[in-house]
């Protein structure tokens, strides 16, 4: 069992729990060997005991560890120690795309396309290494604090068997492709379908298909026509609409045949959003009805038998969908052009694939040449088209692979928004700073920290310096203000305020923790100022477990985001076997998520044991300075002693201490003392500036509570 502070693999120190999923828990750890922070994904115990799953999980994780790309959460290490199977990954500080969409309701088409381009680049790197994700969804896409988009959980989906997928299928079925829902073969085009659904959600703030059950949603993916995102958001450009619909075709042959084609169209949509350049594939129109040769029929039967033998690779959803189809197949129109069961000829399929590839190459060349002309790139650089070329000496990554380098485009004279879109389309990150200028208009880029034409790695951060005009507006400091106050201050100056949230152990909820750009910088009216607002301390109330069964108690802790550190089994005459009779934290106390709790479970009465009774002979002292420095002697204190079975044994209000308590013949072994009292907080004196008179405001009162654990003695 994982504990905070433990060392794994003689190098990884577990620091804190930062997430949990259906199959694993994620911890922040420190790699002492390389002196860096990492994320450790640890398989849950129930999956660690499944040797078939562990074997596949290890193979897939090792394959994913070979990926190195700026848009992938890189895997550093895979290992096992004392039955603990873990993956060590890059630690990315940020939020998931799912939460980002929820915060913004929906994204602009430019932002959605820019994110989709970065996601596609990560998926393309995986596909080039023959790794299919199989679980592309906003929950598996992370946006870091510096705006970098990264795809995570490569290889995990394939390792999952039918017994593991169903535990998390409700979260993924909204994005699953028709062939995955049927339980059939899935390939790179399945990832493209899931990415199309993700783009739909970014653009509209909702998923295209919903239902009460996973089967109902899966059947909609298979049967129902894909709605257009423009039905929900009319301002979506026609090219972006066509890209989403092409990604989400029912038949894989009608989708983009590879991610490179998709990236080319996405980049084109940023430059020419309203042009009709998306080519729709229609393989069914390439020939008439085709008969399947007997040899191919036998091959399909053998492949079907192989699929049935490989049943653990499919979801349980498959059998439910097939059962549905057995009931309705007589009512279906088998002449639907999108039906998956059309006649199949392997020879024709190979010819179609070759023609599609050749056509795709021609289209890509045309698109790249158009990009060169539109962006003004490549005039002095004939090594590639559109600036999207590999450097003569690519930068090594340290693991034997190389990082793609591309020339820096000329963005001087463009607006900040256009410059950022241009850089995002080429895979760069960007940030803007401002300075006064009487030469450039407000919001126009004056210079970049990378000279035009310089080849830099994809994913690099480019800083743009933009004009605020001859007299920019100085950004005031708003840290430590409430969000409402800060927003009012900034909006009064003409700025647009964007809100982000984060937990803080030191700053109260609703108070601004940081601002970007920082105070004293100058920016034009209308510029966006991002304020990070505290959500306060992230704590959980401890549930009352005593009297629950062991199983119910553990489930209750898990539901609250807490964990079980250890379970003690002891004889207890007051509680039946398998019932919790003690816990290491008092009920309703505030603790951090992931806190490990010790519980005591009864083994029932001790065999042939004499009845055990307890006595309570204690002396209760006043609250100490360590417990409350504001307590003063003679304050009235309400004192209550409650036994572990919930009975109030003794209660009084006292002004002097110690207080003596004596009880005998008790049936429980301990209890809790609760002391409640009111303290007076004096007001802070101030001086009247006119009269120099000292003004002392009235004092305020505050109720304080202190609890102490008491163990009784056996009689």
With tokens 């700026």, the residue in question is 70
Q: Output the six-digit token pair for 255.
A: 């989708």
**If DSSP codes are grouped into helix, strand and coil, which group holds residue 92?**
coil
- Prior bond of 658 cis (ω within 30°): yes
CA distance linking residue 193 with residue 427, whole number of Å: 22
Q: Output the six-digit token pair for 214.
A: 């996973």
CA distance linking residue 299 with residue 389, whole number of Å: 43
CA distance linking residue 174 with residue 194, whole number of Å: 9
CA dihedral 320, 323, 327, 330 (to 10 degrees): 110
Q: What values do phi and psi take at 42, rounded to 5?
A: -115, 125
CA distance linking residue 93 with residue 148, whole number of Å: 10
**Sheet strands (E) in 97-200:** 141-144, 149-151
Q: How many CB atoms lie within 10 A of CB 577?
A: 14
Strands of the sheet containing 637-643, edge to edge, are 648-654, 637-643, 670-681, 700-711
DSSP code string of 184-249? ----HHHHHHHHHHHHHHHHHSS-S---SSHHHHHHHHHHSPPPPGGGT-TTS-HHHHHHHHHHT-
CA distance linking residue 502 with residue 285, whole number of Å: 54
Q: How far is CA 548 from the centre of its chain?
A: 33
- What kind and span of H or E run contains 299? helix 294-309
Q: What values do phi and psi take at 371, rounded to 5?
A: -65, -40
CA distance linking residue 591 with residue 539, whole number of Å: 5
DSSP code string of 517-586? SPTT-EE-TT-EEEEEEE-----EEPP--TTSBHHHHHHHHHHTT-EEEEEEEE--TTS-TTBEEEESS-
Q: Which long-range contacts (CB under 8 A, 24 or more apart) does 97-105 make?
A: 97/138, 97/139, 97/141, 97/142, 97/143, 97/149, 97/198, 97/202, 98/137, 98/138, 98/139, 98/141, 100/138, 100/143, 101/138, 101/201, 101/202, 101/205, 103/500, 103/501, 105/205
Which residues are catalytic, by number? 135
CA distance linking residue 643 with residue 499, whole number of Å: 48
């Amino acid at each position: 069992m994982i504990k905070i502070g433990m060392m794994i693999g003689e190098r990884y120190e577990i620091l804190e729990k930062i997430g949990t999923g259906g199959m694993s828990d994620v911890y922040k750890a420190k790699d002492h060997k390389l002196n860096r922070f990492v994320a450790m994904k640890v398989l849950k115990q129930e999956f660690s005991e499944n040797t078939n799953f562990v074997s596949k999980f290890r193979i897939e994780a090792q394959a994913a560890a070979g990926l190195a790309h700026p848009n992938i959460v890189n895997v550093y290490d895979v290992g096992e120690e004392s039955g603990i199977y873990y993956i060590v990954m890059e630690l990315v500080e940020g939020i998931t795309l799912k939460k980002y969409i929820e915060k913004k309701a929906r994204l602009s088409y430019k932002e959605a396309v820019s994110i989709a381009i970065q996601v596609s680049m990560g998926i393309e790197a995986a596909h080039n290494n023959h790794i299919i994700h199989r679980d592309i969804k906003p929950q598996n896409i992370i946006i870091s604090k510096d705006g970098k988009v990264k795809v995570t959980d490569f290889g995990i989906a394939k390792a999952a068997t039918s017994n593991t997928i169903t535990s998390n299928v409700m979260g993924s079925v909204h994005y699953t492709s028709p062939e995955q829902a049927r339980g059939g073969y899935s390939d790179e085009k399945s990832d493209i379908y899931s990415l199309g659904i993700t783009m739909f959600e970014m653009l509209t703030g909702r998923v295209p298909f919903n239902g009460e059950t996973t089967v109902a949603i899966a059947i909609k993916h298979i049967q129902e026509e894909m709605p257009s995102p423009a039905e929900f958001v009319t301002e979506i450009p026609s090219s972006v609409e066509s890209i989403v619909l092409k990604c989400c075709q029912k038949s894989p042959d009608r989708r983009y045949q590879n991610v490179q084609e998709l990236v080319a169209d996405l980049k084109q949509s940023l430059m020419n959003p309203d042009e009709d350049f998306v080519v729709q594939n229609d393989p069914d129109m390439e020939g008439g009805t085709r008969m399947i040769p007997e040899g191919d029929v036998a091959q399909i039967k053998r492949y079907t038998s192989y699929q049935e033998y490989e049943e653990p690779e499919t979801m349980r959803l498959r059998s439910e969908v097939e059962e549905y189809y057995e009931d309705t197949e007589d009512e279906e129109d088998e002449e639907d052009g999108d039906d998956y069961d059309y006649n199949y000829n392997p020879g024709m399929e190979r010819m179609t694939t070759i023609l599609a590839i050749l056509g795709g190459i021609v289209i890509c060349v045309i698109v790249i040449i158009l990009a060169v002309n539109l962006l003004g790139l490549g005039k002095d650089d004939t090594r590639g088209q559109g600036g999207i070329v590999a450097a003569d000496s690519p930068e090594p990554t340290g693991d034997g692979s190389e990082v793609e380098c591309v020339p820096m485009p000329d963005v001087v004279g463009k607006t900040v928004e256009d410059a950022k879109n241009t850089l995002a389309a080429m895979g760069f990150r960007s940030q803007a700073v401002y300075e006064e200028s009487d030469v450039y208009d407000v919001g126009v880029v004056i210079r970049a920290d990378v000279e035009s034409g310089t080849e830099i790695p994809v994913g690099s951060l480019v800083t743009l310096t933009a004009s605020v005009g001859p007299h920019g507006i100085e950004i005031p400091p708003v840290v430590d203000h409430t969000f409402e106050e800060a927003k009012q201050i900034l909006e009064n100056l003409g700025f647009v305020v964007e809100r982000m949230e984060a937990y803080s152990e030191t700053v109260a909820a609703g108070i601004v923790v940081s601002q970007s750009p920082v105070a004293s910088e100058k920016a034009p009216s209308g510029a966006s100022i991002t304020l990070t607002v505290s959500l306060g301390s992230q704590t959980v109330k401890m549930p009352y477990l005593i009297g629950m069964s062991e199983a119910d108690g553990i489930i209750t802790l898990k539901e609250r985001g807490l964990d079980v550190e250890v379970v003690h089994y002891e004889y207890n005459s007051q509680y039946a076997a398998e019932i919790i009779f003690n816990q290491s934290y008092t009920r309703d106390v505030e603790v951090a998520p992931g806190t490990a709790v010790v519980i005591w479970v009864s083994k029932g009465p001790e065999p042939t044991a004499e009845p055990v009774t307890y006595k309570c002979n204690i002396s209760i002292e006043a609250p100490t300075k360590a417990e409350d420095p504001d307590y003063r002697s003679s304050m009235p204190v309400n004192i209550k002693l409650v036994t572990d079975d919930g009975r109030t044994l003794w209660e009084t209000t006292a002004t002097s201490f110690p207080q003596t308590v004596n009880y005998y013949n008790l049936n429980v072994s301990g209890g809790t003392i609760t002391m409640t009292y009111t303290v007076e907080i004096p007001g802070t004196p101030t001086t009247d500036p006119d009269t120099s008179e000292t003004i002392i405001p009235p004092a305020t009162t505050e109720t304080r509570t202190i609890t102490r654990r008491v163990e009784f003695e056996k009689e």
